[in-house]
Amino acid sequence: MNRTPDTAKASSVPVIPVVFGPVPPRPAHAPFLDVVTQGFAATLTAPRWARRHAAAVLADWDVGELEPVVVQIVSELVANAASRPVVGGAVPYVVHLTLRLLPHRISVEVFDPDQAAPVLTQAADDDERGRGLAIVRALSCGLGVVPLADGKLVVAQVRRPTRIGGNR
């Protein structure tokens, strides 16, 4: 899809002008990975598989109480990314989901090869589409987009509850 400046909609999602730096290494005794990335073919089933993957990762991280919120965000962002026009032919492209366990947040990052930034819309009561970013914005404590040379990365973060006396 070829967009010209006069027909392209301005994004209502803030643009994050920098990419994430390297994640500091965890101590050797840490039993889990704090950054997990998985690719999904951009098909109608991608959101379902991404939800299952996210739920399993959250359980491994022992933050299951955040599952309903994080899984909903994953579902909406992966569904948006997987519904982009097919890039380069009839073969589905790959949507990449990265989950990061940060000290005070969980970061949900979804990459797709479409460079067009997402646009927050206000859906009518009878619209079947158009609510995904509004849902993500309501559930997250931060939402943004990182433009990349080969696509974009949409990032949403969820605050982790504070645990007294916990290791993580």
Residues 55-85 have pLDDT tens digits of: 999 998 999 999 999 999 999 999 999 987 6
pLDDT band at 165 (very low <50, low <70, confident <90, very high): low
Give the sheet arrangement for strand 35-41, strand by strand. 35-41, 94-101, 105-112, 151-159, 142-148
Judge if pTM exceeds 0.85: no
> Checking DSSP bridges between strand 151-159 and strand 94-101, what pairing results, if any?
unpaired
- Cβ pair 117, 152 in contact under 8 A: yes
Q: Residue 56's closest CA among 77, 33, 79?
A: 33
Question: Do the beta carbons of residue 43 and residue 49 sit within 8 Å?
Answer: no
- Highest average pLDDT, of 22-36, 119-133, 148-162, comes from 148-162
Residue 142 CA to chain centroid, in angstroms?
Answer: 11
Domains of the chain: 35-159 (3.30.565.10)
SS3 96: strand
Burial class (CB in 10 A: 0-12, 13-18, 19+), 57: buried
Residue 47 pLDDT > 90, yes or no? yes
Q: How far apart are CA 114 and CA 3, in angstroms?
A: 11
Model confidence at 14: pLDDT above 70: no
3-state secondary structure of 108: strand
Q: Are 156 and 142 in contact (CB under 8 A)?
A: yes
Considering only residues 128 and 7, tell me which one the structure prediction assigns the higher pLDDT: 128
Q: At 118, is the pLDDT very low, low, confident or very high (cuts 50, 70, 90)?
A: confident
pLDDT interval class at 39 (50, 70, 90): very high
pLDDT of amino acid 101: 94
